[in-house]
Amino acid sequence: MLTIENLTHVYGNGTRALDDVTLNIPKGMFGLLGPNGAGKSTLMRSIATLQTPTSGSIRFGDIDVIKTPDQLRRVLGYLPQDFGVYPRVSAYDMLNHMAVLKGIANGKERKETVEALLNQVNLWPVRGKALAGFSGGMRQRFGIAQALIGNPQLIIVDEPTAGLDPQERNRFLNLLAEVGESVVVILSTHIVEDVTDLCPRMAMLAGGQVQLEGAPNDLIRQMDGRIWRGAVARDQVADLQAAHRVIATRSVEDKVVVTILADASPGAGFETSRTNLEDVYLAAVSAARKAG
């Protein structure tokens, strides 16, 4: 169990990136949703011991992450949002080098580890290819391979599917699901579908604060019957926004499809719509913006 209590981080310019964040993250896949600038990367970097928060605590089992970061690093696998590699080095040689850095000094053990990981992420056929020639999805799978060196108990992946085509995204998510069966995996993303498909529990950050937390299906059920959608003329949108809690608008031909969160019908032309996690996300984001 990863336990985060009252975590706050204020940067030198006064930006409060995290504001009293408290989360309990169990074994398995845990989704961390939020728009750009929500504080997700700051939280991930704090957990990964790459920066020290201003206040609060982080514990992973018996490890005090802030006081004894070296202990956490021994059981941590991390795939940051901007994962850089030496482009002219082959996948095999790069992973072998990273295994050395992770402390696998025995040559036979390291060879077995590297070969097993390359097979696990389906990169064995291209093990001799320079990383510069890899597609975005192949690079992300290599990133997971390096994060898995040393059998980590906590794995953090930050925006892993951004920019991937649908086929590579599905392949990568399937790989994450396999990994997440036995360890704590935090999937930090702004892509709602990634969390819907993979994570039995999630939290949503906005404005540096936890806006909601729980099982995605439970959060969806809490809003059932309160999502209304209707297609209106463009000149009606402003009046609807003034009178109701509009959480989304989408242009379709000469109309605008307006999504409203309300306990009763907002008017003629609106019908209740089946709630999905995107609706929950948009409602939480709009509430955070209004509060801010």
Answer for the pair 33, 18: CB distance below 8 angstroms, yes or no: no
| pLDDT value, residue 150 | 87
Q: What integer best gives the mean pLDDT of the chain? A: 90
| pLDDT value, residue 126 | 94
Structure tokens at 169: 């995204």
Give the β-pairing of 201-206 and 55-60.
unpaired
Question: Which residues are registered as beta bridge partners of 249?
Answer: 258
Query: In 3-state terms, what secondary structure has residue 201?
Result: strand
Query: In 3-state terms, what secondary structure has residue 61?
Result: coil
Q: CATH code for 2-215?
A: 3.40.50.300
Answer for the pair 3, 154: CB distance below 8 angstroms, yes or no: no
Predicted TM-score (pTM) above 0.95 = no
What are the φ/ψ torsions at residue 79 (nearest 5 degrees)?
A: -120, 100
Residue boundaries of the structural domains of the chain: 2-215, 221-291
Structure tokens at 215: 């099982």
Nearest to 202, CA basis, from 65, 16, 40? 40
What are the φ/ψ torsions at residue 217 (nearest 5 degrees)?
A: -65, -35
Residue ranges for the chain with pLDDT beneath 50: none
List, edge to edge, every strand of the sheet that includes 63-64.
Answer: 16-25, 2-10, 55-60, 63-64
pLDDT one-digit tens code per residue, 86-104: 778 999 999 999 899 888 8
Q: Which residues contact 100 (CB under 8 A, 6 or more apart)?
A: 110
